[in-house]
Structure 1
Amino acid sequence: MTPYTLLVLLVAGERLAELVTARRNAAWSRRHGAAEYGRGHYPVMVALHTGLLAGCLVEAHTAGRPFQPALGWPMFALALAAQALRWWCIRTLGPRWNTRVIVVPGLPLVTGGPYRLMSHPNYLAVVVEGLALPLVHGAWITALCFTLADLPLLAVRLRCENSALTTATAVAAR
């Protein structure tokens, strides 16, 4: 097994940990009266993110491109930074974090952690990882295809999430 394969498998394991966390948090949210928004785009998002990991492995092993340290190491650092940012978001949101758009009405917006710097830091992590992880081993086709497919999906997701949060905070203001 190559070091890059191990890296991608570790990221896949991290995704499984996210799904376990999301399932637990969804149960908490539902117990607190949460509503789910944007169910239609979720399977597309799961497929795209699964495709990212598969594309990294397939392209790295079939294209015959050697590891380029000048590109690979900085991309590795960015991929790790994206993971750190993602888990900072998860920790900051606590039981409110989810891979789905599930919002408990009446709760105020979170303004701590990375949310004091920007509204949707987890999506910055997604964009950085989508570029950096494939480029660790020169899988530029995967990086390009994922990014081009992910940008419109992120636009849908952001509209959905912003709408859901606006609705939920309007309930809190009443």
Structure 2
Amino acid sequence: MKWSIFFFLIVQRFVELYWAKRNERWMKERGAKEFGQNHYKYIVCMHCLFFVSLLLEGIRKRPSRLWSVLLNIFVVLQLFRLWIIASLGRYWNTKIIVLPKAERVQRGPYRWFRHPNYLVVILEFLVIPLMFQAYWTAVIFTICNACLLSVRIRVEEQALRLLKSP
């Protein structure tokens, strides 16, 4: 079961990258501007290394004794992720791409949170390794993610202020 989850995550990430690229093209055709290119490569690298670390650390370990609880949290996180993507529609992306004068999305979880997608990623970087008993992966990548998100959120907020609608 744990390797089914691992495989699901890999497939999910590739589907998300495909969807993001499609949305990027659509937005740029309408004059969208991209921000944060300098740190994006580090985010991609971190996510790739997360899966390598998860695989290497978790390969010989049995699933956590809290597997069923963690699996339920994981499922809720995936449903939350889908709600986020559906709420943003064509504006959802893995990059910071802003369409000038577009209204800020205020539906779905964006009614309550400014950056709900980052909340999901933060929780995934804890829950997924715990499912695999990959404790070092949880600690190391939670710290790395916090550092990168501190840069990314600042850049994203600046981009939204710069291009906000009148």
Bin of the TM-score, shorter chain as denominator length: over 0.9
Q: SS of 1:155's equivalent?
A: helix
In the other structure, the counterpart of 1:139 is 134
Q: SS of 1:27's equivalent?
A: helix
In the other structure, the counterpart of 2:55 is 57
In the other structure, the counterpart of 2:14 is 16
Find the aligned partners of 1:76 and 1:47 in 2 and give their Cα distance. Answer: 26
Q: How many residues align?
A: 166
In the other structure, the counterpart of 2:42 is 44
Alignment of 1:27-38 (within 5 A): 27-38=25-36
In the other structure, the counterpart of 2:77 is 82
AA paired with 1:68? Answer: S
After the TM superposition, list the runs of 4 or more consecutive aligned residues in structure 1 that deviate by more than 4 angstroms. Answer: none
Find the aligned partners of 2:71 and 2:138 in 1 and give their Cα distance. Answer: 14
Q: SS of 1:12's equivalent?
A: helix
Q: SS of 2:106's equivalent?
A: coil
In structure 2, stretches of 5+ residues that fail to align are none
Task: For residue 168 of structure 1, report the CA deviation from its aligned partner.
Answer: 1.4
Over the matched positions of the two proteins, sequence identity in percent amounts to 35
Task: For residue 72 of structure 1, report the CA deviation from its aligned partner.
Answer: 2.0
Find the aligned partners of 1:96 and 1:68 in 2 and give their Cα distance. Answer: 37
Alignment of 1:108-127 (within 5 A): 108-127=103-122
Task: For residue 127 of structure 1, report the CA deviation from its aligned partner.
Answer: 0.4
In the other structure, the counterpart of 1:66 is 62
Find the aligned partners of 1:41 and 1:80 in 2 and give their Cα distance. Answer: 29
Q: Which sits farther off after the overlay, 98-107 or 44-53? A: 44-53
Task: For residue 107 of structure 1, report the CA deviation from its aligned partner.
Answer: 0.5
Query: Which of the numbers 132, 144, 162 marks the counterpart of 2:157?
Result: 162
Find the aligned partners of 2:157 and 2:21 in 1 and give their Cα distance. Answer: 22
8 Å CA contact retained: 1:89, 1:114: yes
Task: For residue 117 of structure 1, report the CA deviation from its aligned partner.
Answer: 1.2
Q: SS of 1:114's equivalent?
A: helix
8 Å CA contact retained: 1:5, 1:57: no
Q: What does the per-residue CA deviation read over 1:128-163, in whole Å, with 9 as the maximum and x for residues that have no partner?
A: 101001111211111111101110101111001111
In structure 1, stretches of 5+ residues that fail to align are none
Q: What does the per-residue CA deviation read over 1:90-143, in whole Å, with 9 as the maximum and x for residues that have no partner?
A: 111111110000000000111100000110000000001010011112111111
Over aligned residues, Cα RMSD in angstroms? 1.1
AA paired with 1:115? Answer: Y
